Structures are given as C-alpha cells and as structure tokens.
Structure 1
Amino acid sequence: MGVLWTFLGASSIMVFLDVMYRRLAAPDSKVAELTARILGIESEASMKALTTWGPIVTAIIGVGLVYFAFWTAEKHTGQPGERSRMKPILHALAACAGLGFLGWLMTRRGFESRWFYLLLYGLSASAWLFKQLKDRSPGWVGRLGAFVVVTGLFILVTLNYFPDGYSWSKELSLIMLLWVGFLGASVCAHEGKHIQVGALKKVVPPSMARWTEALGYLTTAAFCLFMALLGYAYAKQALQLEGRFEQTNIPDWVATIAVPFAFAMTMIRYVGSAISAILGGSYGAPPEEEALVAATQAKKGAEG
C-alpha cells in the first residue's frame, strides 16, 4: 500500500504543479473572467480593478486559511497551558513565504522543471530523513538503505529524462494513475476488500462452505486470467507499434503493460485464496471473516 500511496501522492503533486505553473505563467486570468461573468461586470475599468485586486484578495484569503490550519493544529495538539499564539502565525508566515518562493522559481525561465522537482524532493527527503534519524524506530536502517536506492534512481531519471516545462506531468501522472488503479485491485484481492455476494454462503451447508468459497475464488481467477490474456495481446500490439507519448517520450507499452501485469497478480492472489479456503485459512477473506476464522482457530486451540 505504501507504493500505491507514493504513486498517488506524486501524481497529485505533478498535476497540481502543472496547474499552478499555467496559472502563474498565463498572461490572462480565466478566474477573473469567470468572476466577472458571475458578478455581471462588463466595464473595462471594473474588469481592470478586478484583475488587479483579485490576486491580492486571493492571496490574503490563502494566508488566512494557512494560518487557520496551523491554529487548529496547535489548538488540538498543544496542552491548554502550553499553547502559543505566535507559533501558528510564525508557521503560517514561513509556509506562505516558502510557497511564494517556490512559485517564484516556477516562473523563472532559466530554472528548469527538473531542478524544481529535485528541490522539492530534497526538501521532503530531508524532513523524512531527519525524522528517521531522530526516532530510530525498528527497521530504520533498512528504510535508509531503500532511501539511498530510491534517491539515486530519482536523481538519475530526473536529470536524464525529465523534459522542460511542467505540462508533461499530465502524461506521467496518467500512467502512474493507471498503474495505481490496477495494482490497487490486486491489493484489494489480497486484503479481501472486493465486493462479494454473501447470499450463497448463508444457504450452503457448513461442510460445503469452504469448497463453494474456493470455487468462487477460482472462478474469479479464471476471469482475471482471461483479462490478463487480453491485456497481454493489447500490450504486445503496443510494443510492436513502438508508439510513444508526445511530451515525455515514454513508450506506450509502459502504460498498457499495467493491465496484464495487474490482472496476472490478481489471478495468483485469488488462486492462493482458493487454496487457503480449502485448507481452512483466511487469506483473501474479508476482514470480518478473517477475524472469525482467527477466533475459531483460537477456540479450537484452547479446547485442544
């Protein structure tokens, strides 16, 4: 799940940066035009005033929202006698100054997007690294090793393959979203989060329950195999056509291969769930059934 959340977070950040860059670099304001239509502003002087004061008012509201966020956090986390009034203000000013600096960097023509992403990664990684070294929770050495590998790969990919500008991030985020969606289906199969029809379980005799449950898992696995074969044929065709995304120059098969790969993983998980059901296990079972199986096994162990 950590990989999926990382992909989703990275995708959201890239799309957000693309939108922010287009708004910061755009000579006109679509927001101001829409606001003028809503308010019924038609005169040129009023439109000019709206364009001038609109960003200022928006910035003030944004600063207020950031302050409110820090004030709420301070109110709920601090002790009644230890709450500070200046701390949320200082944090809000620092956050707004940092965001303003990042926005200013985005508008600099000589500052390429690869350096901007490296800067963001460096700031985030520094905070994460400081927390790991400070807490030193179990497994922190392994996490540091993985961090070194991921950082090296990120720097290599960023310096050699990231195009200029920010509009390319939409293509990459769509690819990542596709992978997250299909891999998420496999994770849900592992954790028993898919929707299941429970009516049959209530009418089947207890002696046949595990066999009918295994049959259901195997039927789902067969469907996943069918979809994996279709996805493989589609990915093979994309590989032969040698198509590429326009802005990132990423091959098309990088996206399409997610379909057969994820369905194949899901099929394997459902086969494992079927075997587990026959043996009386709880792999792939819904959380409530897994707890019931664990309680039953514990009861049998206590009686034995």
Structure 2
Amino acid sequence: MAETGKENPYGGRFGILRRIDDWIFNIEMGILWTFLGVSAIMVFLDVMYRRLAAPDSKVAELAARIFGVESPEGIERLTAIGPKASAVIGVALVYFAFWTAEEHAAEPGKQSRIKPILETIFASAGLGLLGWIMVRPDVESRWFYLLLYSLCAGFWLFNLFRERGPDLAAKLVSFLVVTAIYVYITLKYFPDGYSWSKELSLIMLLWVGFLGASVCAHEGKHIQVGALKRVVPPSMSRWMDALGFVFTAAFCFFMAMLGYEYAKEALTLEGRFEQTNIPDWVATIAVPAAFAMTSIRYIAAAFSSIMGGSYGAAPEDESIAAAAAQAAEEGAKG
C-alpha cells in the first residue's frame, strides 16, 4: 500500500496488489451502477408496458372521479381521450425538464429557447419508438433490453473516450466484464414479456447491497469509531486503527463463512426462481463473495495502517494525514 503523502498509490512493494484491488473496485462499481440502472429501468418498463397493453385508462378513471362522470358514454369518451392526454402531459414534462436544465446550465441571458424544443422532439420521438417496439409481439423483451443497454453503453463510452481519464484502461476492462455478465444473463434468463421485473430486480438489489459494503471498505466510507484513537498517544494511533480493522475483518470473515454455508446449501437444493428460472445460488452467493472481499480489504487496511499508509482510512483522516505529511515536507525543505 502507498505510504502517507505519496502521490503514486502503486509504488512500493504492494503496488501491484493495490492496482489489482483498484481494478476489482472498478468492476464492482460497474456492476453496482449497471444493476441499479437496469433495476430502475425494468420496474419503469414493467409499469409502462402494463399501461400500454391495458385496455383501460387510469387517466380516464381519475378524470371520471374528479368530474363525476358516471355514464357509459362519458367514460368511453374519456377512455378514448386518456392516452392522448397522457402523451401530451408526458411531452410537457419532458420539455419542462429540458427547459429547466437549460436555464441552470446556460449563463444568464444566453439561454436558448430552441434547444429545449429540439431536445423534447428528439426525446419524445425516441420514447415513442421504444414504446412502439415494446408492444410489438414479435420483439422479445431480451432484445429490447439489449437495445437499451447498447444505447446507454454507447453514450457512456463516448464520454469515457472524450474525457480520457487516467483510469481509462481499468474502466474499459470493467465495462467488458459487466457487459459480458449482462449479455449472458439477458440471453439466458430474461423471459418474454415485461411483467417479471420484480424478481430480477430483487436479485440485483441484493448484489448491490452487499457489493456496496465491499466498495465502502475500499473507499473508507464505513462508520468508524474514532473516540478511542483520540485518547491514546499519537504513537499508538495507527496500532489502534489496525486493531479495529482486524476485528472488522474477522467479523466479515465469519459472515462470509456463514454465507458460504448458505450458498452451498442453495447449490445442493438446485432451486430456481419461478419467473426467470435463475438458480437460487446466484442470489445467495453475493453474501460470501462480498464479505470475503470486504474482509480481505480490511486486512489490507490493517497492514497499511501499521506501515503508516492510508488505505481504508476515512476520507477526512486521509486528508489530514496527507496535509500533515505535506506540512512536514515543506518544513524540511525550509
């Protein structure tokens, strides 16, 4: 692990381990963002598909209640108008979103009136095209989700290559890994239709929750008790941090072993989810995998703390340590 105050975290004896850890972190972040985005889109498309395929209109029912329409002719008329009114309201909301973004992004007096209109036209046309594809019986949902993923991935890659950050290679590797996982799950387990989103979303959110613990360990974002560290002599501070990391690593290892036993039992039973036919162990294996990675990271944080590094430290502690090291370096030069 890099020592405190050093700008290059990959220097020293453990530089290669830190690099591997950062690459794993990028893959975890890719899985987190992808699973969160896919879960949200799945639930949204599930609701949207039910509305597009349903013969009734919720807008018509609401309007009938508000205006007290009870006659069959009036309800039928409202049912015919409902989808059109919903479309108009949707376009208006899209325009309001783009108009608000333009008002906040542009400098005062330089806001464009045409840009939000053009963006609304293209966005509404795109959403309309996607809705038309959804209701076509000859288009399976897996291909529709692959189309959406391709569009989002293309936009993300465009921004990635335009910025060309220092972690470009790591992000590309994580993108390839996440894409391979997503394509495999989509082609093998996505059933037809759109009414199964709840089941797969729960599996993805389970992975998001436990991988989030591992990500927080990498970033030092977990809750840490710093009261004891403040009452011990400064020379013992790093040892107290290391002791806390070791205890946390032991707890995570214990949870990983429990999760392993549970996942092994699920693998033996060969159970599957009802709608997607995904094996039960795909969900349960998230527990031992995430806790094992978290345990390894806390062990690394303990070694880093003993050696005077900042891996796994809380962001404020890391910034304080870096500032102290910089002040000491400037004092030595002076």
Q: Scaled by the length of structure 1, what TM-score is found?
A: 0.86
* Residues 229 and 129 of structure 1: CA distance in aligned 2, closer, same or farther (over 3 Å): closer
Which residue number corresponds to residue 286 of structure 1? 314
1:117 aligned onto 2:151: no
Q: State the Cα RMSD in Å.
A: 2.9
Larger deviation: 42-51 or 218-227? Answer: 42-51
> What is the Cα deviation at residue 299 of structure 1?
2.8
C-alpha contact 1:210 1:280 (8 A) present in aligned 2? yes
C-alpha contact 1:281 1:293 (8 A) present in aligned 2? no
Q: SS at 2:112's partner residue? A: coil
Q: SS at 1:261's partner residue? A: helix
Larger deviation: 148-157 or 174-183? Answer: 148-157
Percent of residue pairs identical? 68
Greater relative contact order (Cα < 8 A, sep 6+): 2
Aligned letter for 1:112? E
Which residue number corresponds to residue 290 of structure 2? 262
1:177 aligned onto 2:183: no
1:203 aligned onto 2:231: yes
* Residues 142 and 296 of structure 1: CA distance in aligned 2, closer, same or farther (over 3 Å): closer
* Residues 127 and 199 of structure 1: CA distance in aligned 2, closer, same or farther (over 3 Å): closer
* Residues 18 and 80 of structure 1: CA distance in aligned 2, closer, same or farther (over 3 Å): same
Cα distance in 2 for residues equivalent to 1:142 and 1:216? 30
C-alpha contact 2:218 2:297 (8 A) present in aligned 1? yes
1:52 aligned onto 2:80: yes
Aligned letter for 2:242? A
Q: SS at 1:76's partner residue? A: helix
Which residue number corresponds to residue 48 of structure 2? 20
Cα distance in 2 for residues equivalent to 1:204 and 1:271? 22
> What is the Cα deviation at residue 14 of structure 1?
1.7
Count of matched residue positions in the alignment of Structure 1 and Structure 2: 304
* Residues 289 and 121 of structure 1: CA distance in aligned 2, closer, same or farther (over 3 Å): same
Q: SS at 2:94's partner residue? A: helix
Q: SS at 2:92's partner residue? A: helix
> What is the Cα deviation at residue 137 of structure 1?
5.8
Cα distance in 2 for residues equivalent to 1:145 and 1:266? 21
1:95 aligned onto 2:157: no
Q: SS at 2:223's partner residue? A: coil
Q: SS at 2:252's partner residue? A: helix
Aligned letter for 1:27? P
Q: Scaled by the length of structure 2, what TM-score is found?
A: 0.79
Aligned letter for 1:26? A
Aligned letter for 1:277? S
Runs ≥4 in structure 1, deviation > 6 angstroms? none
Cα distance in 2 for residues equivalent to 1:155 and 1:185? 25
Give the unaligned 5+ runs of structure 1: none
C-alpha contact 2:207 2:286 (8 A) present in aligned 1? yes
> What is the Cα deviation at residue 139 of structure 1?
6.3
1:108 aligned onto 2:136: yes
Aligned letter for 1:186? S
Give the unaligned 5+ runs of structure 2: 1-28
Cα distance in 2 for residues equivalent to 1:264 and 1:131? 33
Which residue number corresponds to residue 166 of structure 1? 194
Q: SS at 2:273's partner residue? A: coil
Which residue number corresponds to residue 267 of structure 2? 239
C-alpha contact 2:267 2:280 (8 A) present in aligned 1? yes
